[in-house]
Homo-oligomer: A and B are copies of this chain.
Amino acid sequence: MDFSLSERCQDYLTRVSDFIEQEIVPIEADYFAQIQQQAGNCHVLPIIETLKAKAKAQGLWNLFMPVEPYGVGLTNEEYAPLAEQMGRSFIAPEIFNCNAPDTGNMEVLIHYGSAEQKAQWLPKLLSGEIRSAFCMTEPDVASSDATNMAATAIVEGDEVVLNGRKWWSTGIGHPQCEMIIFMGLSYPDAPKHQQHSMVIVPKNAPGVKVERLLPVFGELHEPYGHGEVSFTNVRLPKSAIIAGAGRGFEIAQGRLGPGRIHHAMRTIGAAERALELLITRGLSRSAFGKPLIELGGNKDIIANARMAIEQARLLTMKAAWTIDTQGIKGAMSAVSQIKVVAPNILQTIADQAIQIHGGAGLSDDFPLTMLFAAARMLRLADGPDEVHRALIAKLELKKYA
């Protein structure tokens, strides 16, 4: 094994880190303060467009995308350390055009989209001109079992008709969101994983309505915005279906692998940030005559966090490498493993960082409750811990069959 990063990866890593350190971190606190003062729903400040242009000009753009010419050809394993850096800031992913769910949606288009679908949507997504959402989870069923999905995408002649209600549709609140990938039931009598279809829906199509934005622990997760969206007799040409009706699950499977690597690595970056905040606070405040860091089990907390982060990072890097070398099928267990491990680590460290901050940690003076809420959400998004543990166990038991 060789744990060193490729030269190319190392080069991008330096550039991305520097950009984040110099351009993004300094404006972040002010950014969120401004956003909170605005009435109504999600906002994006002009500084984002400025920084996007700057990042694009420096070639720090679409780095997540392994397929040339759309990206620069970084493997998942090479992109992963960059994703970690982007995870240190809530706004960084968008600035590098590497934010979910656009990344996954672009990948779906590239791998499964028709020429027409690509022509219509890819350029605008790749340039960062528009953003997109992904509508899969539903409020009325336990969506941990994706086959429960009940919203419909019925083919009627040359059209496909969508009905139903989705929620936790990330990105739907973003002012620039213009397209949605919708997943719905087309053939209830087909085999379980051939019943659903993915359909491209313009956000302004008649019958599409954003019912509300959903708070996560009381905060709107601006500017991404998770929403509840109703689809009422949304009629689209049949050509809006991706890769043919009934292929929704097949596409979803491919879509989620790299996306989970990105999430996991960003989560690890966030965990590093939480640990830094924990240590910095612990060194700067004193009680009972000593810096907090010297008291009780605080050093054990630091050591445990360090061990947990190192292990999670290596596990994620290996999962990325496995996707690169063996494809998504071979990486099924590895991907589920990082899906469980990374958010749990962040939740724990963010909780511990809150504790050492005292009341300040609960407030908006530090990003700790946001980090906590992000972790908490990621333990549910893209499948709850329970579903991934079950899959890991199932694959383990297969060895004994």
Are the CB atoms of B214 and A217 closer together than 8 Å?
A: no
Are the CB atoms of B400 and A384 closer together than 8 Å?
A: no
Number of chain A residues close to chain B: CB under 8 A: 87
Write the nearest CB–CB distance from A340 to chain B, whole angstroms: 6
Q: Could you say which residues of chain B place their CB within 8 Å of the CB of A144?
A: 287, 292, 358
By beta carbon, the residue of chain B nearest A369 is: B217
Q: Could you say which residues of chain B place their CB within 8 Å of the CB of A280?
A: 400
Answer yes or no: A307 CB below 8 A from chain B CBs.
Answer: yes
Are the CB atoms of A3 and B318 closer together than 8 Å?
A: yes
Answer yes or no: A306 CB below 8 A from chain B CBs.
Answer: yes
Are the CB atoms of A355 and B310 closer together than 8 Å?
A: no
Which residues A342-401 have CB closer than 8 A to chain B? 351, 354-355, 358-364, 369, 372-373, 376-377, 379-381, 384-386, 388-390, 392-394, 396-397, 400
Are the CB atoms of A306 and B359 closer together than 8 Å?
A: no
Contact among B314, B333, B355 for A384, CB-based, below 8 A: B355
Q: Could you say which residues of chain B place their CB within 8 Å of the CB of A392?
A: 302-303, 306-307
By beta carbon, the residue of chain B nearest A288 is: B145
Among A137, A148, A218, residue most surrounded by chain B Cβ atoms (within 10 Å): A218
Answer yes or no: A286 CB below 8 A from chain B CBs.
Answer: yes
Answer yes or no: A285 CB below 8 A from chain B CBs.
Answer: yes
Answer yes or no: A215 CB below 8 A from chain B CBs.
Answer: yes
Residue interface bits A1-14, CB-to-B below 8 A is 1, else 0: 11111000000000
Q: Report the stretch among A57-65, A102-110, A293-301 that lies at the interface.
A: A293-301
Are the CB atoms of A303 and B217 closer together than 8 Å?
A: no
Answer yes or no: A142 CB below 8 A from chain B CBs.
Answer: yes
Contact among B4, B142, B286, B390 for A142, CB-based, below 8 A: B286
Write the nearest CB–CB distance from A401 to chain B, whole angstroms: 9
Q: A144-B287, A307-B340 are in contact. List 11 more A-B contacts (CB 8 A).
A: A1-B3, A137-B358, A142-B358, A148-B287, A217-B218, A279-B397, A283-B397, A296-B297, A303-B396, A311-B315, A314-B314
